Amino acid sequence: MDLTPLAMFAVTFAALLAGYPVAITLAGVALIFAFVGVITGAFSPSDFGFTPGRIFGTITNQTLIAVPLFVFMGVMLEKTRLAAGLLESMAHLLKNFRGGLAFTVIFVGMLTAASTGIVGATVVTMGVMSLPTMLKQGYDPALSTGTIAATGTLGQIIPPSISLVLLGDVLSNAYQQAQLNLGIFAPKSISVSDLFAGALVPGLCLVALYLGYIFLRGQFQPGTMPKHHSEQTTPLPIKALLRDLLPPLLLILTVLGSIIAGWATPTEAAGVGAAGAFVIGLIFQNCNLAQLREVCEATLKTTAMVFFILIGASIFSLVFRGYGGDELIQSWFENMPGGTWGALGVVMLVIFLLGFILDFIEITFVVVPIVGPILLAMGIDPIWLGILIAVNLQTSFLTPPFGFALFYLRGVTPEEVSTTSIYRGVLPYIVMQLILLAALMCWPSIATWLPNFLYGR
């Protein structure tokens, strides 16, 4: 059996650990292996004839147009301090409740994560905005950092984040390929809207678990979260509260609701979200030209990074398949103990471990296109698989000592808060995410019933 595909993976991960850029590593390793294969006769150069078509298909993909639009919406909400205003208003509103500030962080973090889907951006934003206030109010450092890190990862599962857009597009292609491999030449399809609907219930369940944990912690360990001591003694004007709360909330509900209701495609809804975020920033936060320039530059950088990685992953996948990598993995899965469940368990474990060194974009573009068609051909529901991957990655990004969210939060945490406190703070949230993952394994309908109900899948 030719083990060249495995050697490709090994060299790729070694190069990534050495610090080389992801997109260049994927394409560079693939081209080196292809060049050696052409010389030795193990790889056909004609396979590269598919590359222009793949790149053109990526550029013209209507679903992926939603990526820069959603990124623009999220960055605009961040740069114009809409999220900061929402945090301050809700904290004042819940000042008489024990743990009110933690409740506020979870709620605002959920909205911020949903609007961006980028773990680093959400964790850093929430850490800068809320961590100093929580520590000043006497909150336990472990509880504070754990809550911020956990809410920062909600973008993996709360729609309409770009992580679900990318994962939905990749799974759609994998599902069609799986059916074609089975001889089904009129394949069914899934859409990003299906994945959004499938992620909604698990995401809200996870938020409910977070809120329930804060409530119980406040009841049994009140010293870890004292009541809020606001310097502002006068009641918050209703006008100010509505100004901070309603615009971002209505914007996200409009975007998500229009997609799930079938009134707009994800791309169309993303356009509405981007325009709405700009109008809100202009009217309520006096967005100026300098801020708009920052938003556009941040959007351009993120979008270029996503598509650069996608093109590199496309070349890597082409060479990987040229060496028979998909047949190799398929044979392994078919002969694996436990059948479908054994194969699914191995894939989930591999994705969890890869989450320590790769971001969701790399995993979505590199790993899912390879293992997705094989798992889906074994009868696994594509929506269920997508939600499992999203929750799995969310847990990986939060798990010590390598979780991405922990590294990002450490960068904005005061030195007096130890790394051990951060690790200790995220452990309860990891347990809650594992509970959700186990529930999804036992009852797939948690993820599939809403798409079935809405779209009759």
Find, among 197, 123, 157, 166, the residue nearest to 436 by Cα: 157
8 A C-beta contact, residue 336 and residue 342 = yes
Confidence of residue 269 (pLDDT cuts 50, 70, 90): confident
pLDDT at 178 over 60: yes
Q: Indicate whether 427 pLDDT > 90.
A: yes
Q: Which residue has the higher pLDDT, 203 or 67?
A: 203
Cα separation, 210 vs 226, in Å, equals: 18
Q: What is the pLDDT of residue 386?
A: 92
Report how far residue 362's alpha carbon sits from residue 23's, in angstroms, rounded to the nearest whole number. Answer: 9
Segment 296-355, tens digit of pLDDT: 898 888 888 888 888 888 888 888 888 887 777 777 877 778 778 888 888 898 888 888
Model confidence band, residue 229 (pLDDT cutoffs 50, 70, 90): low
Helix intervals (H) in 138-230? 141-152, 162-181, 192-220
The token duo for 423 is 């690790």
Q: Is the pLDDT of residue 88 over 80?
A: no
Mean pLDDT of 268-290: 82
What is the predicted pLDDT for the residue at 369?
A: 85
Q: Where is 435: in which H helix or E strand? A: helix 419-442
Q: Classify burial at 3, counting beta carbons within 10 Å of its beta carbon; exposed 0-12, middle 13-18, buried 19 or more.
A: exposed
Burial annotation 244-281 (CB, 10 A radius, 16+ → b, else e): bbebbeebbebbbebbbeeebbbbbbbbbbbebbbebb
Task: Give the pair of three-digit tokens for residue 85.
Answer: 């205003």
183 has pLDDT over 70: yes
CA 452 to chain centre: 23
Regarding predicted confidence, which is higher, 50 or 272? 272
Is the confidence at residue 429, as pLDDT, over 70?
Answer: yes
Asked if pLDDT for residue 391 goes beyond 80, the answer is yes
The Cα–Cα gap between 270 and 60 comes to 16
Report the percent of the chain where pLDDT is more than 70: 93
Q: What is the pLDDT of residue 113?
A: 73
For the chain, how far is it from start to end, CA to CA, in angstroms? Answer: 39
For position 265, what pLDDT does the model report?
83
Q: Is 234 within 8 Å of 107 (Cβ atoms)?
A: no
Distance (Å, whole) CA 38 – CA 34: 6
Residue 324's pLDDT is what? Answer: 82
Run of H or E including 123: helix 119-136
Q: What's the rounded mean pLDDT across residues 63-72?
A: 82
Helical ranges in 232-338 per DSSP H = 238-260, 266-284, 289-322, 325-334
Of the candidates 310, 355, 370, the residue with the CA atom closest to the CA atom of residue 166: 310
Whether the Cβ atoms of residue 408 and residue 126 lie closer than 8 Å to each other: no
pLDDT at 136: 84
| The model's pTM | 0.82
DSSP string of 59-108?
A: HT-TGGGHHHHHHHHHHHHHHTTHHHHHHHHHHHHTTTSTTHHHHHHHHH
